[in-house]
Structure formats: structure tokens, C-alpha cells
Amino acid sequence: MSFLESAWYKKSSWLILLWPIAVLFQLLAKLRRGQQERNRRPPSRQIPVVIIGNIAVGGTGKTPLLIALANQLQESGLTPGIISRGYGGNSASYPLLVNTDCKVVECGDEALMLAEKTGCPLVIDPDRVAALEHLLVKTEVDVVLSDDGLQHYRLARQLEVCVVDGQRLFGNGMCLPAGPLREPISRLEQVDFIVVNAVDSALPDSLRLAVPMGLEPKYLINLATDEKRPFSGAPFNMGNVLQAVSAIGNPQRFYDLLEKLPYQMQPFSFPDHHLFSEEDFMSRGIDEHQPVVMTEKDAVKCRSFARNNYWYLSTELVLPAEFLNDFVSKVKVLAKDGSS
């Protein structure tokens, strides 16, 4: 976590000095939103677009939620497609239709993981409107899920799902750069669903109707051999040190899960979406004889040089059945209206 991020969540008093800049940021963001909404064009084919985003910078749990919602829509008989910015990737050209053969350096870790875990058609482009049009031209989908993009107001949308980090919430409640918010907390009043990831304390009034979401650790899976071990109990030899490697927005949630195991843990944090190389592990002094444990999103970037001591944590998302049913019902109504 950077110095500024740490100050946001510690609610450091000196951040009030940045408040005038935050007010200016909000004004500019409001003007930008108005301009983008005026320039918004409907897609070439009428189809429901669902945004899964957030109002705070950093990781909140959007990726596992999007995977769960995509799978739920598939089970209900719909054919979802996904659009994403492809953060962390660097393709020679856009839009890019992603498949499981794409290199992570081209499409980014999140996009590759989404393609692998859902099997959905997926297009990345920094311009999500262009990504949507390419997806509609190249594939036959009847609903589109947007990975992030809540503030990408040129993109028409029919449903908005906002994900909130249940541990960090909104920090000091101020907008950038004085706080972590891209938009004021009042923006939550406009979305269709609020999902709170890892609730571990009393929630503010702004989240009283929020949907709780949890990640349940299930297995540790070896990157080199695909060996699977149950997370519970003692999956490694007693006396081992877990070397926890992460390049995600909020690694503390991952570390908290690993601390439930009966081992000493040594964290190795890298910047969000960091593209790992073998040199990263060598330069940080990561022991090749002790288990290295990472998230599934980070694991997709380490397969090409994975050793037998590399493991990733496989988790299962826990969501209320009422929310999933309500979400699917709303999407089906929108899909039916769009095709009529």
C-alpha cells in the first residue's frame, strides 16, 4: 500500500489540506459525466449491459463477483459476454477478443482469468464502447457484463452493481486525492445493487441494504503439477513458512486468510497487476524450498516459470440465493425487452 493510500484508510488529519483539490476533482468529474452522457450512443444491437464496478480505487472483489454472475446467467440459459479495459495488458491493437490462448502480457491478468473461469466471449479495449461494439459484431451474446466502468459514462448501461470492500469501506470518505473515492458516497443511491465484500464490522447507513459477499478458501493448487490440497487443516509440513506473494489491490484480505493456517507467514507485496517474472522471486529472496502461495489472479502470470513449490489459493464465492435470483430475473426482463 502506498503512502497516500495508507493515509486515506488511517484517516490522517493532514489530508484536509487536499480537500480543495478534492472539491475541484468532484466538479470536473461531474462536468465530465454530463458531457459523456450527452455524447452517449446506444449500441448497434439492443442488449442489456451490466456494470460491475466500484466508487473507490483499489481492489474490492469485482473479479470473483463478475465470474459468479456470469456463471449464474449461463446456468439460467442466457449467453453472457464480457468487456474489460484489460488493465495490465499491452496489446498491439484493440479491440482484442480474448481467449485462453492469449498471453497475459497482451490481455492482462484479470481478463485472462475471466476468460478461463467463465468461458464467455470477452473483448478488451481501454474504450469500453469500442469493446462493446466489437463484442456485438463478433459474437452472439444476449447480455454484456462490464468489468469495472462505473465511471465510463459513455457506455450505456441498464444495471449497475457496485462492490464495496467490507474491511476498508470508504476510508476517510473523501474523494481523490484527499481520499480513495472516485465519486461521492451518495453515488450509491443511484446503483441497482450494492455488494459488500468480507463484512467484518457494523456497516454505515449507506450500506444498510447491501448484499453480503464472502470468499471461502477451498483448495491450494500447485501451479506446476495441478496437485490439489484442502485448505483446512495443515496442507504443508509442520515448520514450513508460507511465502505469500500478491499483486492485488488489497492484499491484506488474502494474508488474513493464510493466517488461519498453522504456519508462520511471510508476505511479499507487489504493485497491483504487477506482471511477474522469475527475477522478481529471486531478487526478493523467496526460498525455493518453502511453499509460495498466491491468489489465482496472480497465478496466471507465473505459470511459465512455476516451480513445484508454487501454489495458488482456490476460493468459492458465497452470495445470498435471493440476490442471485433477483439479479437473473432483472437481466432476463431486460433481455426480453431488448429483443422484442
In a domain, 32, yes or no: no
pLDDT digits (tens, 9 = 90+) for 276-314: 999 999 999 999 999 999 999 999 999 999 999 999 999
Name the residue range of residue 310's domain: 215-317
Average pLDDT over residues 144-169: 94
For residues 207 and 248, membership in a common domain is answered with no
pTM, two decimal places: 0.91
- Percent residues over pLDDT 90 in the chain: 82
The three cell numbers locating residue 160: 449497475
In a domain, 151, yes or no: yes
195: domain CATH number is 3.40.50
For residues 100 and 170, membership in a common domain is answered with yes
In a domain, 30, yes or no: no
User: DSSP string spanning 114-126?
Assistant: HHHHH---EEE-S
In a domain, 206, yes or no: yes
Radius of gyration of the chain (CA): 20
Residue 140, Cβ neighbours under 10 Å: how many? 8
For residues 160 and 235, membership in a common domain is answered with no
Quick one: pLDDT at residue 339?
55
Q: Is the pLDDT of residue 340 over 60?
A: no
The DSSP bridge pattern shows strands 264-269 and 292-295 to be unpaired
In a domain, 286, yes or no: yes
For residues 49 and 163, membership in a common domain is answered with yes
For residues 202 and 335, membership in a common domain is answered with yes
Residue (of 240, 244, 241, 194) closest to 217 by Cα position = 244
In a domain, 223, yes or no: yes
Q: Among the residues of the chain, which ranges form H helices?
A: 3-10, 19-38, 62-75, 104-107, 109-118, 128-138, 251-258, 278-283, 296-299, 321-339
Structurally, the chain folds into a number of domains equal to 2
For residues 168 and 237, membership in a common domain is answered with no
